[in-house]
Amino acid sequence: MGTFLDRRTIVLAGILGAVSVVAANSWMNAPTGFTLDSSGRVVAVDPVGVIFNKAMPLEAAHMLVAAYLVGGFMIASVYAGAMLRGRRDRYHRLGFVIAFTVAAVATPVQMGVGDALARWVYNDQPEKFAAIELVPQTSSDVPETLLGKLNSNGTVQGGIPIPGLASWLSDPATGKSTVVKGIDSVPAGDRPTVSEVNIVHLSWDIMVGLGTLLFLLSLWYGLTWALRRRMPTNRAFLTLAAASGLLSVIAMEAGWVVTEVGRQPWIVYGYMKVEDAATANTGVWITFIAVTVLYLALGVTAILVLRGMSRRFRRAGGFNDVESPYGPPASPAAEPQVEEATR
């Protein structure tokens, strides 16, 4: 009972920790909960208004689902790699199925939350949306341009335009006639630079492209279960599944680039520019290097400890095919061992 409560506390603390970090970030996208005096100084703060800003619910939901999605694909990819090397026993199949199922369920949910978030950006951060969709001038019937880039003369070069789709996705009720604000809709000093626009657009393509690929992989897995009552075990599926961990991390990082670079030149949207917030302290390099070295050391240590544990586990014979960490006991005699493995 005690262990169960401890586990629940860890899950709750993890979720609340992630939500608080994202609340701070979403406040930078939708700053509320404070009052400024006539000289622009903060005179009153309402912490509840700060935490529960308008961007928080969707941004936090998107990041939480991303965490389950990335966690699931990362774990599954390790088992898929082992299955590709011929380890097809029950332990590996089960390890794969539990993790991949979590990620496969999270993927369509993430696309739904992402779609709602994109509509929030369309309404509340139009210049970020213009960068995402590569829209230099305000217009209706805006295409969804896959790849391509913005030139310094304000024209879009290359890419594959899907006619009217960006307008339609922005507001399906008004369809192709939905007006999308362009980068020209904000004063010149408040616009992102051409290279920032291109970074945001490419990151958007990467996040949505990989999200769609992972969704198709999840669909393949789900359909095989539905039709054949087993997971797909062919080489093509396992190779993609082995890559899914890395691909999902890339999608997540691309998402953060969309959020952060898409807000440029603001650090606090509409209130403070990055140039006014950046420190003039030249000593930050020392703390930056110290933190980088610390995290590298922690990362290397974690890998070495895990490898050591894995070797010890194999030397001890690993799980045999009858046992499984979370499965029902094969025989009453095997029960105590299964209990041990789940603890």
Residues at the interface with ligand HEM (CB under 6 A)? 22, 29, 55, 59, 62-63, 66, 69-70, 110-111, 114-115, 117-118, 121, 207-208, 211-212, 248, 251-252, 255-256, 258-259, 262
Q: Pick between residue 92 and residue 128 the one whose CB is nearest to ligand HEM.
A: 128
Q: Pick between residue 92 and residue 114 the one whose CB is nearest to ligand HEM.
A: 114
Residue 41 per-residue DSSP state: -
Q: Pick between residue 98 and residue 257 the one whose CB is nearest to ligand HEM.
A: 257
Q: Pick between residue 130 and residue 251 the one whose CB is nearest to ligand HEM.
A: 251
CB of 259 to ligand HEM, least distance (A): 4
Spatial CB neighbours of 107, under 8 Å, sequence gap ≥ 6? 69, 211, 214, 215, 218
CB of 189 to ligand HEM, least distance (A): 21
**Residues of 110-125 as b/e, b for ≥16 C-beta within 10 angstroms?**
beebbeebbbbbbeeb
CB of 118 to ligand HEM, least distance (A): 4
CB of 108 to ligand HEM, least distance (A): 9
CB of 326 to ligand HEM, least distance (A): 25
For residue 263, the SS3 value is: coil
CB of 140 to ligand HEM, least distance (A): 21
Spell out where 170-308 has E strands: 266-268, 272-273
Asked if 159 contacts 202 with a C-beta cutoff of 8 angstroms, the reply is: no
CB of 112 to ligand HEM, least distance (A): 9
CB of 107 to ligand HEM, least distance (A): 7
Q: Pick between residue 116 and residue 290 the one whose CB is nearest to ligand HEM.
A: 116
Q: Pick between residue 103 and residue 150 the one whose CB is nearest to ligand HEM.
A: 103
Q: Pick between residue 58 and residue 150 the one whose CB is nearest to ligand HEM.
A: 58
Which secondary-structure segment (H or E) carries 5? helix 2-29
Closest CA to 110 of 208, 23, 254: 208
Closest CA to 130 of 264, 271, 317: 264
CB of 266 to ligand HEM, least distance (A): 12
Rounded distance, CA 178 to CA 170, Å? 7
Spatial CB neighbours of 127, under 8 Å, sequence gap ≥ 6? 181, 183, 185, 186, 190, 191, 192
Look at the block and give the residue holding tokens 């209990």: 339
Give the pair of three-digit tokens for residue 155. 């024209």
Give the pair of three-digit tokens for residue 55. 């961007």
Q: Pick between residue 174 and residue 212 the one whose CB is nearest to ligand HEM.
A: 212
Q: Pick between residue 81 and residue 114 the one whose CB is nearest to ligand HEM.
A: 114
For residue 44, the SS3 value is: strand
- DSSP assignment string, 161-195: EETTHHHHHH-TTTGGG--B--GGGS-GGGSPPHH
Residue 86 per-residue DSSP state: T
Give the pair of three-digit tokens for residue 18. 């992630």
